[in-house]
Amino acid sequence: MPANKRPRRLNYSVNKKGPVTGGKVGKAVSHYKSLQKRQAFEGETKWIINAMKIVLVKLKKYGINPKTI
């Protein structure tokens, strides 16, 4: 393959491209709230326990204390 091919990763319109990581924090908070509601309704299921682990790791990564939500 020749080394002088055009760069395909730069082939996009800068004005039309939106933010990639726009709502991660808000979505993590809303997911945590919905899991809490589901846990109150359904109880402690394995699926909810595993989902809570994942959401709590995300909240810790973003620096949000779950007790303040």
Mean pLDDT of 44-68: 94
Q: Is the pLDDT of residue 53 over 80?
A: yes
Q: Is the pLDDT of residue 30 over 60?
A: yes
Average pLDDT score over the chain: 85
Q: Is the pLDDT of residue 11 over 70?
A: no
Q: Is the pLDDT of residue 61 over 80?
A: yes
pLDDT of residue 4: 72
DSSP letter string over the chain?
Answer: --TT---GGG-S-TTTPPPSSSSHHHHHHHHHHHHHHHHHHH-S-HHHHHHHHHHHHHHHHHT--GGG-
